[in-house]
């Protein structure tokens, strides 16, 4: 396990290397900088850094500048640069979803209520961030577009599916960016890029893209450098209507002030032990938690991990099967390798070859796993675990063109920790508390029961104060 006698790590500095969104908004409000200057600065950084990291698939520079010059930004984040993930429609821009099948898509004519909340807050969208094909993979290397590279090491993956959002934020192009999470797609790129990434509870946020899975897996929020930015964007986009499943929490500003009971899980549900650097990161986080007065004890996942992994793969693959059908109907012929990537086609094929009733049976077992998670969280306030089984992997290791059986094996070793909360509809966050000796970020995950975002944000503020990370600057940044 871990040595309880060790003390918490001590940070080298507490000073941020670049302002977060809250600070940029303050400077614009006080006249220290103008919205035009803030947008121009983001555009200049994007033009300088994009050839190195490839985080933006579609730019909206002229429109953002025109709005800034006309004084059309208003709200708490008026004029602060922003990116929308390219799985969601944004009026005036095409949605490619990381797929060759969407090249030539027309500009969107409407957006979702969730994305509209960012516009209403005054954020200056300068473009759309990259994503893997339809968000299926934990790396952003779509075959129809250049790969998105990690600013900490450009030979490594930025993660996925919000890889462009994370790379652009980590490099300092924007202070934060829209992201979404259907199996870890906020937490994984946050972990890989040294950012804070909170996945909200199911139903917590304003409506976004239509859901097609039998279980609503995907939720949306953002990736940020500071916890306070995440808390502020959360308050902007959470549901406040009478039918909301959770009472709104507003802007969380105070760190946690009570001790927690923490369950520590190191292995995946399938029994895999993460690589040494990940073990080091989680053990270090456990020591930090104890130094802050929290009680940490080992525990294990409350469900059959092997069966859960198989069932999640089946459910995840139904999205690819629906996509293949829709594209085939639009083309008037079966979708092939020139339309969809090998991984997408293989997932669709997996569903086609399932026996009758297999998907319904998988969903029933996943719902049972969700109930087991809820019962587990009556024993603990939060669960501490890895986000990933490895530090950021080399580009190509989990890309969509890898042979399907081999890719499945690699994914099993890499992403065995994040899907549980998506199935359970519960919140979880990746916190950037560790860097390897060669300078790669390794996030650690804290999960909680459904609706407990306030607790997680309070804990994140406490961890951020105890072990600041804002001073860490990636090699590819401005």
Tell me whether residue 222 is in a domain: yes
Residue 3, pLDDT above cutoff 80: no
Q: What is the pLDDT of residue 13?
A: 62
The predicted structure's pLDDT at residue 209: 80
Instruction: Dump pLDDT digits (tens) for 328-381.
Output: 999 999 999 999 999 999 999 999 999 999 999 999 999 999 999 999 999 999
218 lies in some domain: yes
Cβ count near 392 (within 10 Å) = 26
The CATH number given to whatever domain includes residue 175 is 3.90.1300.10
Q: How many domains is the chain built from?
A: 1
Q: Is residue 3 part of a domain?
A: no
Residue where the block lists tokens 């003390």: 7
d(CA 256, CA 374): 22
Question: Rounded to two decimals, what is the model's pTM?
Answer: 0.96
**Which of the four pLDDT bands, split at 50, 70 and 90, describes residue 307?**
very high
The single residue of 45, 55, 67, 85 carrying the catalytic annotation is: 85
Residue 106 lies in a domain: yes
- Point out the catalytic residue in the list 55, 99, 101, 185: 185
- Which residue among the candidates 161, 201, 230, 344 is catalytic per the annotation? 161
Cβ neighbors of 153 (< 8 A, separation 6 or more) are 392, 438, 439, 440, 475
Q: Which residue has the tokens 């996925």?
A: 160
pLDDT digits (tens, 9 = 90+) for 123-133: 999 999 999 99
What does the pLDDT look like over 415-425, one tens digit per residue? 999 999 999 99
Q: Are 47 and 40 in contact (CB under 8 A)?
A: no
- Quick one: tokens of 376? 């587990």
- Tokens 């790396």 map to which residue? 139
User: Taking residues 425-445, what's their average pLDDT?
Assistant: 98
pLDDT tens-digit profile of 151-202? Answer: 999 999 999 999 999 999 999 999 999 999 999 999 999 999 999 999 999 9
214 found inside a domain: yes
- Tell me whether residue 477 is in a domain: no
Q: Name the residue range of residue 228's domain.
A: 21-466
Q: Is residue 277 part of a domain?
A: yes
Distance CA 293, CA 23 (A): 31
Instruction: Render pLDDT for 47-100 as a digit per residue (tens, 0 to 9).
Output: 999 999 999 999 999 999 999 999 999 999 999 999 999 999 999 999 999 999
Is 69 a known active-site residue? no
pLDDT for res 212: 64
- Residue 390 designated active-site: no
pLDDT at 211: 66
Is 185 a known active-site residue?
A: yes
Query: Which tokens hold the place of 282?
Result: 């989680």
- Answer for the pair 456, 207: CB distance below 8 angstroms, yes or no: no
CA 88 – CA 85 distance, rounded (Å): 6
């Amino acid at each position: 396990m871990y040595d309880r006698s060790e003390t918490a790590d001590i940070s080298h500095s507490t000073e941020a290397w670049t302002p977060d969104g809250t600070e940029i908004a303050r400077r614009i409000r006080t006249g220290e900088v103008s919205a035009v200057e803030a947008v121009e600065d983001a555009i200049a950084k994007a033009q300088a850094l994009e050839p190195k990291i490839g985080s933006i698939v579609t730019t909206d520079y002229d429109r953002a500048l025109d709005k800034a010059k006309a004084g059309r930004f208003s709200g708490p984040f008026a004029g602060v640069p922003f990116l929308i993930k390219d799985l969601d429609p944004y009026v005036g821009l095409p949605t490619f979803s990381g797929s060759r099948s969407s090249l030539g898509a027309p500009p969107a004519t409407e957006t979702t209520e969730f994305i509209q909340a960012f516009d209403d807050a005054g954020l200056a969208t300068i473009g759309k961030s990259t994503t893997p094909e339809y968000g299926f993979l934990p790396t952003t290397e779509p075959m129809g577009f250049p790969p998105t590279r990690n600013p900490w090491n450009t030979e490594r993956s930025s993660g996925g599916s919000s890889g462009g959002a994370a790379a652009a934020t980590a490099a300092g192009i924007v202070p934060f960016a829209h992201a979404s999470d259907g199996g870890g797609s906020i937490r994984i790129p946050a972990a890989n890029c040294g950012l804070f990434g909170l996945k909200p509870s199911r139903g917590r946020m304003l409506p976004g893209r239509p859901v097609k899975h039998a279980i609503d897996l995907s939720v949306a929020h953002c990736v940020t450098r500071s916890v306070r930015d995440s808390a502020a964007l959360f308050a902007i986009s959470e549901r406040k209507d009478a039918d909301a499943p959770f009472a709104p929490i507003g802007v969380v500003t105070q760190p946690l002030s009570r001790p927690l009971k923490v369950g520590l899980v190191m292995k995946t549900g399938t029994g895999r032990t993460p690589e040494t650097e990940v073990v080091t990161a989680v053990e270090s986080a456990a020591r930090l938690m104890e130094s802050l007065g929290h009680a940490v004890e080992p525990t294990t996942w409350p469900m059959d991990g092997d069966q859960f992994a198989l069932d999640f793969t089946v459910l995840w693959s139904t999205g690819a099967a629906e996509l293949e059908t829709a594209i085939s109907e639009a083309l008037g012929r079966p979708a092939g390798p020139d339309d969809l990537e090998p991984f997408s086609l293989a997932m669709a094929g997996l569903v086609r070859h399932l026996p009758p009733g297999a998907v319904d049976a998988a969903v029933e077992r996943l719902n049972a796993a969700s109930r087991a998670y809820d019962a587990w969280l009556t024993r603990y306030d939060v669960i501490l675990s890895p986000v990933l089984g490895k530090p950021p992997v080399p580009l190509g290791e989990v890309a969509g063109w890898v042979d399907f059986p081999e890719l499945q094996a690699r994914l099993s070793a890499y992403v065995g920790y994040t899907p549980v909360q998506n199935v359970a509809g519960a919140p979880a966050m990746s916190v950037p508390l560790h860097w390897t000796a060669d300078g790669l970020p390794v996030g650690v995950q804290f999960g909680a029961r459904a609706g407990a975002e306030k607790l997680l944000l309070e804990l994140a503020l406490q961890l951020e104060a105890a072990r600041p990370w804002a001073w860490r600057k990636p090699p590819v940044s401005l």
